[in-house]
Structures are given as C-alpha cells and as structure tokens.
Amino acid sequence: MPRKTAGPMKSNTFKIKKGLDIKLMGEADKVVAESNHSSVFAIKPTDFVGVIPKMMVKAGEEVKAGQALFYSKTDERVKFSSPVSGEIAEIVRGEKRKILEVRIIPDASNSFANFNADTNSVDGIKKALLESGCWPFIRQRPYGVIANPDHTPKSIHVSCFDSNPLGPDVNFVMRGQEEAFKKGIEILKKMTSGAVHLNMSAEPGAEKSFESAEGVQNNYFSGPHPASNIGVQINKIEPINKGDIIWYCYPQEVVTIGKLFSSGQVDMTRIVALTGSRVKNPKYFKTTVGAQIKALTDANIEEGDNRVISGNVLTGQNTGTDGFLGFYDSQITVLPEGNQHKFFLTDGWLSPGLSKKRFSMSKAYPSWLFPNKKYDLDTNINGEERAFVVTGQMEKVFPFDIYPMHLIKSIMYNDIDEMEKLGIYEVDAEDFALCEVVCTSKINIQEIVRNGLENLRAEMA
C-alpha cells in the first residue's frame, strides 16, 4: 500500500506478513436491523480480567442506565454500571459464591443517570469516566486489564478495524457516529502525554468513519489477521518495554465515551455483527451491551447443536443463546458443535480433507488448493492433546519479534524472569489465538498465556 497522509501528522503504513486469514461461512450482510427487545440484560464481572466485584446494589433495586452496579475490590474508584434502566433481577453466583452475572430487567422508563461531564481537567474527565462506569472501556498493555486511573500512559491506541474471522466491518459499524467518535478521541487525547494512535486498515475506504478525529497519529495496517490486534499494532509502532504503559480502546467504546461527555449520559448501544455458518441470515443488529443473545439470534439460527459465541471464533466466550453479549464484544458467532466422532477415512485424520469441515494451514490437507474457499468449521479439536512436537508452526502466524514456543514454555514452568526477557509484556492471550488454532499438539495456549500474565501481574503488584 502506498503511504497515505490524513491530517497534519505523518502517517505510517505497516505490512503484517505473518498471520492467517481463516475464511468462514456466514459473513454479516451490510444491513443494520433493530434487534428484538431483550427481556433481560446482564453485566458479567468475568468479562473484566482480574477484577473482583464488590456489589453496590441488591436484587430488586431500581437502577438507571449508567448507575453503578459494582466496583472493583482492588480499586474502588473503578465502577461498573448498568447499560439500561430497570430492576436488578438477580445476582447469579457460581462456585465459592463468585459473582458471574448481574441481571437487570429493563423497564420502559429509559431513565439515565446524569454525570457532570467536565472536560476541563484530566481529573474531572477521569472522575466522570469512573463514576459512569465508562472507565472499564479503557484497557492497558501490558496485561490487557482495565487501566489504572493513576497512570498517564505513554500513548493510547484505537484499533479501527477487525481482521478476525468474520469480524465486523468497523468502518460500516461506525457510520453516523463520527461526531461522538471525534469527541471521544478529544477526551482520550487529554489523558496521555503522548499521541493517540488510530490504527486503521490499509484497505481503501476503510478509514472513512474515522477521518473526523483531529490531531491523531494515523497508522495503516495491511496483511492477514492478527493485523487488527492491538498488541500487534503496538508492537510494530512502539514495542512495549518493561515499565511502559499503553492504553487502548475500541471505536464503539470511544463513541460511548464521546457521548458521555456531550450528553452527560451513558449510552451503551452497540452495533453487533451476527455471523457464522449456523446463522440463517447473518447481518448487523443494533442492541445494547449486556443484551441477551437470544434477542438477536431468535429464529435466525439453524436447528441443531450449536456453539453460540459472544465475540469471534478465536477469542470469544461460549455463552449459549441464554447468555449475554460481553462487555467488550461487538460480534456474535454461531458455529456447529463438533461433538461427533469422525471416522478416520471419511472425516478424520486420513481423510482427503476436501470437505468444508476441514481447514488446515499445513499443506498436509488440500486447503492450500482453494485459497478462497469458505469453511463451515465446527468446534471439534480435530485430534488429541499432545506434548509439543512440531516446531516452526507458530512462527508463521505470530508477527512479533518474540519466540512464541519459548515464551509459552517459560510460562508453563512459571519463570517470571524468563517471561520478562522473552517479551511477555508485549503480548496478550489473544495474540496467541492463531498459534493455538494451528498447533498440531492442540495445546490451549491462550489459557496458558492468560495465566502467565495474571501470575506476573500478581508478582509485580
């Protein structure tokens, strides 16, 4: 791609060479439908890495949209608020009384809590974000956790496209939100001593909805997934060293922040892509954070055993249709479950591999013959878990100057010093998603990396 210039600052194009685009069936049509009215909403504390919730409301209480539901035990300034107005229906607890969901039944009043959206001082901005429950939209690297309000980050990054399988067209989703986005970026700019980076796709036209933002650093990325991962983008622009703190945020979240400061109210509406091979009519829906998935998928998914995911196939959560749209998610994916035995000659390990059910990066299957084929993959592991045997696979889909297998092993034997040296501060679990997909030994790498980051964070705290 040629270098582009937009705005007064110099812009850069980065070409991601290592990676993999997995082409799946069920891409969303570019139409936005109103979703059915969700009869219940939920905020899931489990969406927030490392947060232990302390409840501020009880079942039966009335809340307004934007009113705090709980706060973080480690930092009570960080509050999490209700996306809608209504009544607290239930606080769902799991093992050891861990809070899993705070469910809210919406009412018709649609009343909003009002916040003093003072944009004059950084402290005022932070206070408004914290009080309104919008602060958790701002996350930080390293660790991929909610940002610490006491920090001043080196820079703030916004990834303005989504290269994940079936990922929504962010430029399309953001159409009509230019003003709120601009406002949100203005707010972010006040909180960093460095630049606010808009990391956009180098595809022509993909930056249209983001052109309103001023005084930002525009960066363009081309190449396969994980080009849209914030970790990859930061790594190419300004790799994180020990001690660096970089914040990041996604465009629809920037819009929510922008709206908070123009109206004083919390508007958590989202445009969500409903995708996947089991969706009859994949398209975009307008809904709100925490909506029940059922409200979107209703009558629009095929009968049968489905995996319903809030998020994309690489990093999303298996929620089922009774589950709720995750706090950070703007996509729902429905795949067939793969819980059948596969006979080795027809569908298994000795099969010709021509079906839409079998995709491989390796040329041991004929996927390479059909680069544009779209696959109907299921959730089968396609093998059994083994020790690491094959080497050199992960390097093909991991665009960091990091040795992935060595880093993973250092996490497995929990050597903090080694992890630091091998570059753990530069990555999050999602950056290893493709490594996990292509791993011949079927090791749950994202879980290992997540645990490693949590151990490291506990050690450093």
Partner 1 sequence: MKFLENLVLKKIRPNFEAGAKLEKLYPMYDALETFMFTPNHTTVNGSHIRDGIDLKRTMMMVILALVPCLLFGIWNVGDLHYNAIDETVDFWDKVIYGSWKVLPIVLVSYAAGLGVEFIFCIIKKHAIQEGFLVSGMLIPLCMPPDISLWMVALATIFAVLIGKEVFGGTGMNILNIALTARAFIFFAYPKDISGFVWLSGEKEQFVDGYSGASAMGELANTVGQGLNNPEMTQYTKLFQDGQMYDLYHSFMGFIPGSIGETSVVACLIGAAILLFTGIGSWRIMLSFFFGGLAMAGIFNAFAANEFMALEPFHQLALGGFAFGGIFMATDPVTAAQTNTGKIIYGFLCGFFGIMIRVFNPAYPEGIMLAILFMNVMAPTIDHYVVQSNVKRRMKRLKVKTA
Tell me which residues in 174-203 interact with partner 1 (CB under 8 A): none
Residues forming beta bridges with residue 322, ordered by sequence position:
none
> Comparing C-alpha atoms, which of 176, 71, 223 is closest to residue 132?
71
d(CA 145, CA 418): 22
Q: Which is nearer to partner 1, 3 or 17 (CB)?
A: 17
d(CA 408, CA 415): 11
Q: Which is nearer to partner 1, 247 or 359 (CB)?
A: 359
Q: Which is nearer to partner 1, 67 or 235 (CB)?
A: 235
Work out which of 62, 87, 211, 337 binds partner 1, going by CB under 8 A. 337
Helix (H) or strand (E) holding 246: strand 246-249
Question: Residues 6 or more apart from 202 whose CB is under 8 A from it?
Answer: 1, 4, 13, 220, 221, 222
State yes or no: residue 47 binds partner 1 (CB under 8 A): no
State yes or no: residue 241 binds partner 1 (CB under 8 A): yes
Q: By CB under 8 A, how many residues form the interface with partner 1? A: 78
Which residues inside 244-283 make contact with partner 1, applying CB under 8 A?
Answer: 244
d(CA 395, CA 391): 9
Q: Which is nearer to partner 1, 299 or 387 (CB)?
A: 387
Q: Which is nearer to partner 1, 96 or 341 (CB)?
A: 341
Binding pattern for the stretch 385-424 against partner 1, x by CB under 8 A and - elsewhere: -xxxxxxx--x-----xxx-xx--------------xxx-
CB of 382 to partner 1, least distance (A): 5
Q: Which is nearer to partner 1, 167 or 184 (CB)?
A: 167
d(CA 88, CA 104): 4
Q: Which is nearer to partner 1, 200 or 424 (CB)?
A: 424
Structure tokens at 440: 């011949």
Which residues inside 70-99 make contact with partner 1, applying CB under 8 A?
Answer: none
Residue type present at position 299: A
- Region near partner 1 per CB under 8 A, out of 145-153, 226-234, 295-303, 333-341: 333-341
> Comparing C-alpha atoms, which of 105, 110, 115 is closest to residue 68?
115
Contact call for residues 252 and 326 (beta carbons, < 8 A): no
Q: Which is nearer to partner 1, 204 or 392 (CB)?
A: 392
Work out which of 27, 101, 162, 347 binds partner 1, going by CB under 8 A. 347
State yes or no: residue 346 binds partner 1 (CB under 8 A): yes
Contact call for residues 146 and 138 (beta carbons, < 8 A): yes
CB of 196 to partner 1, least distance (A): 20
Angstrom CA distances, 362 to 162, 350, 400, stand at: 24, 14, 21
Which residues inside 281-310 make contact with partner 1, applying CB under 8 A?
Answer: 307, 309
CB of 179 to partner 1, least distance (A): 36
State yes or no: residue 356 binds partner 1 (CB under 8 A): no
Token pair 């020990």 in the structure block, residue: 242
Helix (H, G, I), strand (E, B) or coil at 49: coil
Q: Which is nearer to partner 1, 266 or 309 (CB)?
A: 309
State yes or no: residue 343 binds partner 1 (CB under 8 A): yes
Token pair 């080694």 in the structure block, residue: 418
State yes or no: residue 360 binds partner 1 (CB under 8 A): yes
CB of 354 to partner 1, least distance (A): 11
Work out which of 349, 354, 373, 414 binds partner 1, going by CB under 8 A. 349
Using DSSP bridges, classify how beta strands 99-106 and 41-43 pair: parallel, antiparallel or unpaired. antiparallel
> Comparing C-alpha atoms, which of 107, 104, 75 is closest to residue 91?
104
